[in-house]
Amino acid sequence: MQSLIAGNWKMFKTVREAELFARRLVAELDIPPGREVVIAPAFPALCAVAAALRGSAIKLAAQNVHDQAQGAFTGEVSAGMLIDAGCEYVIIGHSERRTFPGETDDLIGRKLLAALAQGLRPILCIGETLAEREQGATFTVITGQIKEGLKNVALGDIGDAVIAYEPVWAIGTGKTATPEQAQEVHAFIRNTIEDAYGKELAGKLRIIYGGSVNSGNIGKLMSEKDINGALVGGASLDIESFSAIVKY
């Protein structure tokens, strides 16, 4: 199984800054065998970054997608548009989308279906808040998010998805789940997938960790059995730190 290291740039970098960063990343990053690297710039920079990545092993992702193929949805972007812009992946259900616009599990599930229908590989983000963890509701929340996010996905399409466990309390806070805490939830996610879809598929599904990942903690996180990569936020905005994470 290839490890997946995905950089989520959020609302940072102008088009020019994103293009220059991507060109430098292509020139300087020597990707170790068995690792897949993806970067997710903001919508306006997708085409420029796609051009900068052309011919390299680094893949392009979008940070969001609409659940409809087209229509009168001002400010939204469809899966087909993302494919046309050069994307291979799309992040769906990030905690910031769940929190600020208030995206529901049902909407996130529809977005995931829309992505798969166009050949985009979804990175489905799930995770509990601090209050939910303190209440002992972590596994209940995770189970609900998985079941709702994947409920209408055909069995043959499940393997095209990636699940990113990102405890909300660890995103942008500097706090990180310990490797043991992360492994516990990742193992639970894999067991949940196994119960629903079988052992073979569960064994092949990539489950990655997101939440204040940096060059100092990536090695210990990746040493855990069920952690297959990382969804990197702030540390992906710097060439040196992101390269160090890729080369963990």
Three-class DSSP labels, 117-133? HCCCEEEEEECCCHHHH
94, 103, 132, 148: the active-site residue: 94
Q: Tell me which CATH code domain 3-246 carries.
A: 3.20.20.70
Residue spans of beta strands (DSSP E) within the chain: 3-8, 35-40, 59-62, 89-92, 121-126, 162-165, 206-210, 229-232
Q: Is the pLDDT of residue 78 over 80?
A: yes
- Note the pLDDT tens digit of each residue in 40-54: 999 999 999 999 999
Q: Is 166 a catalytic residue?
A: yes
Q: What integer pLDDT is reported at residue 170 of this predicted model?
A: 83
The rounded mean pLDDT for the chain is 96
Amino acid at 30: D
- Catalytic pick from 103, 148, 166, 186? 166
Can you give the pLDDT at residue 169?
A: 87
- Residue pointed to by tokens 């055909």: 154
Please write the tens of the pLDDT for every residue from 118-128.
999 999 999 99
Radius of gyration of the chain (CA): 17
- pLDDT 10s digits, 10-28: 999 999 999 999 999 999 9
Residues 153-210: tens digit of each pLDDT: 999 999 999 999 999 988 877 777 899 999 999 999 999 999 999 999 999 999 999 9
Active site residue 224: no
Token pair recorded at residue 203: 């064994």
Burial class, 56, CB count within 10 angstroms (exposed 0-12 / middle 13-18 / buried 19+): middle
